[in-house]
């Protein structure tokens, strides 16, 4: 029943995977047009609506409830359940509304964290079945608004639809010798977001830092406005500003992954403040107490190992994972205890 949002890779990972696939298959995609949405600094959340009208809230990794909540999201979904149940009339399949649950008390170090309430900001809607890569995902803000209009849910219930950040698409050809010019443009866009999040300022009058951007392959949509889930997963990528990076890089968008020369360099690369804070948020709800060190350390190790396996970061030659894990565990414990003592 669980319907996770697809994992989003970095630009260099999407580039590498695309070029590798096309070299092996002999096929080349045309230029892909991308539109971006601001990446709000909250917690990934979504709502499943079954054909019989049942409504299920979920976080990034599981279905949740008011007894196993995620910053109050399940409780809020329960209070608005009747609105969401009406989405069953939009499709005879399972409907999933994907968004970011953000605002007061959820995260820190971002403009959205300073608003005086918690809101659900929708960035995609899916029609389909459980774990089906052919499911249809709608990312166009206008299409999402049209789908949600059937529920009569509005900003009065603290529901918003995230708009495109750039109205003029960015064109990307991963084979282009001048791809670096596009990378420079995306870096400029992210640098602007890191200075001021314009969506938060426009809607709530609060000026402050934004987390980054998510780039959607909008030109891959079919006539009804949807993108096949597998296709979206292959081409979507995210770019975080310097203060929110989980892998420390010289600039937000990189053409290639950084290769650390030593073990200490590697740990410095992956054990960023942003990754540590994300671990605390997702495992123990942002709490700092010595009894929670174990889950936080385990999350960090899983997350870094996943990045290694997915090619997001390269492990220095000659080091086994156990050695890396021990050093990473030590760094995480030291950081976590220092936060307790602050």
Give me the domains of the chain, ranges plus CATH numbers.
11-244 (3.30.470.30), 263-341 (no CATH)
The model's pTM: 0.91
pLDDT value at position 285? 84
Tell me the sheet residues that pair with 32: 172
pLDDT value at position 329? 96
Paired tokens of 310: 């997915």
Which regions of the chain are under pLDDT 50? none
Q: For the sheet with 237-240, list strands across it.
A: 170-172, 32-39, 212-216, 237-240
pLDDT value at position 144? 96
The two beta strands, 118-128 and 159-161, are parallel
Among residues 28, 87, 23, the alpha carbon closest in space to that of 55 is found at 87
Is residue 127 within 8 A of residue 95, CB to CB? The reply is yes
**Cα–Cα distance measured from residue 145 to residue 18, given in angstroms and rounded to the nearest whole number:** 31
**Cα–Cα distance measured from residue 111 to residue 306, given in angstroms and rounded to the nearest whole number:** 29
pLDDT value at position 142? 95
pLDDT digits (tens, 9 = 90+) for 129-159: 988 899 999 999 999 999 999 888 889 999 9
pLDDT value at position 75? 98
Is residue 93 within 8 A of residue 86, CB to CB? The reply is no
Is residue 237 within 8 A of residue 213, CB to CB? The reply is no
The two beta strands, 43-49 and 94-103, are antiparallel
pLDDT value at position 298? 96
Paired tokens of 322: 């156990």
E-assigned strands of 30-73?
32-39, 43-49, 55-58
The two beta strands, 212-216 and 32-39, are antiparallel
pLDDT value at position 26? 80
pLDDT value at position 27? 81
pLDDT value at position 48? 97
């Amino acid at each position: 029943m669980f319907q996770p949002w697809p994992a989003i890779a970095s630009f260099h990972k999407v580039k590498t995977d695309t070029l590798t696939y096309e070299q092996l298959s002999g096929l080349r995609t045309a230029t892909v047009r991308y539109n971006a949405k601001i990446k709000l600094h909250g917690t990934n959340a979504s709502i499943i609506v079954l054909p019989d009208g049942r409504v299920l809230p979920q976080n990034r990794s599981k279905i949740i409830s008011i007894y196993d909540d995620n910053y109050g999201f399940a409780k809020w979904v329960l209070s608005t359940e009747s609105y969401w149940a009406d989405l069953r009339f939009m499709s005879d399949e399972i409907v999933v509304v994907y968004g970011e649950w953000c605002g007061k008390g959820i995260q820190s170090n971002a403009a959205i964290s300073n608003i005086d309430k918690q809101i659900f900001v929708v960035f995609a809607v899916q029609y389909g079945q459980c774990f089906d890569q052919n499911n249809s995902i709608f990312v166009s803000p206008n299409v999402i608004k049209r789908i949600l209009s059937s529920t009569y849910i509005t900003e009065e219930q603290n529901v918003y639809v995230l708009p495109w950040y750039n109205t003029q698409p960015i064109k990307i050809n991963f084979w282009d010798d001048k791809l670096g010019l596009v990378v420079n443009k995306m870096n400029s866009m992210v640098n602007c977001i890191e200075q001021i999040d314009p969506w938060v300022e426009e809607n709530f009058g609060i000026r402050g830092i934004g987390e980054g951007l998510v780039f959607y392959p909008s030109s891959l949509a079919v006539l009804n406005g949807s993108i096949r889930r597998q296709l979206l997963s292959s081409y979507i990528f995210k770019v975080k500003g310097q203060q929110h990076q989980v892998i420390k890089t010289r600039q937000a968008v990189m053409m290639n992954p950084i290769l650390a020369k030593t073990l200490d360099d590697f740990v410095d690369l992956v054990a960023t403040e942003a990754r540590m804070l994300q671990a605390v948020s997702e495992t123990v709800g942002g709490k700092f107490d010595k009894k929670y060190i174990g889950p936080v350390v385990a999350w960090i190790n899983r997350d870094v190992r996943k990045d290694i396996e997915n090619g997001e970061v390269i492990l220095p030659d000659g080091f086994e994972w156990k050695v890396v894990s021990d050093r990473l565990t030590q760094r995480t414990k030291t950081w976590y205890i220092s936060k307790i003592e602050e």
